Amino acid sequence: MLLKISFQLSGSVAISDHVDVLRRVYKEVSEKLEVQSVARNMFQCNAITLKELQSIQSRRSEPINAAEELLNIVMNQSSNVFSWFLDALKKTDHQQLYEVIIFSSYTGSLSMTII
């Protein structure tokens, strides 16, 4: 027996408050994020400063703390920095975390249909 599961989103997607979105996924993202590549990418786009990059890089032996530091930086900045963060996730093979954040930002309802 083969089941096909499809998800249908209803409502609208709106990332109006990136701080709330990141708070909802903070633990999961901080545990799974390979922060060094994302931070380098964000620095190259001028989304974080050299001082912030160096601080994150100095925590190589503490990957969760380094990820939390980057998340805190993003949460304390404008939605433009949040957009650069999302772009950096896509560019550094963090598609799954990108999707977690996007789905967390969804303001409608989620329904599952088994076909």
Tens of pLDDT along the chain (115 residues) come to 554 544 444 443 345 588 999 999 999 999 999 999 999 999 999 999 999 999 999 999 999 999 999 999 999 998 899 999 999 999 999 999 999 998 887 755 444 444 4
CA angle at 77 for the pair 74 and 81, rounded to the nearest 5°: 65
- State in words which class domain 13-107 has: mainly alpha
Question: Residue 105: its pLDDT value, please?
Answer: 78
**Six token digits for residue 31:** 């545990």
Question: Residue 13: its pLDDT value, please?
Answer: 38
Q: Which helix (H) or strand (E) holds 9?
A: strand 5-10
Q: Which helix (H) or strand (E) holds 30?
A: helix 18-32
* C-beta of residue 9 within 8 angstroms of C-beta of residue 105: no
Question: Residue 107: its pLDDT value, please?
Answer: 55
SS3 28: helix
Q: Using alpha carbons only, how large is the chain's radius of gyration in Å?
A: 16
* C-beta of residue 63 within 8 angstroms of C-beta of residue 50: no
Q: Which residues, listed in sequence order, are joined to residue 114 by a DSSP beta bridge?
A: 5
* C-beta of residue 70 within 8 angstroms of C-beta of residue 56: yes
Question: Residue 77: its pLDDT value, please?
Answer: 93
Question: Residue 22: its pLDDT value, please?
Answer: 93
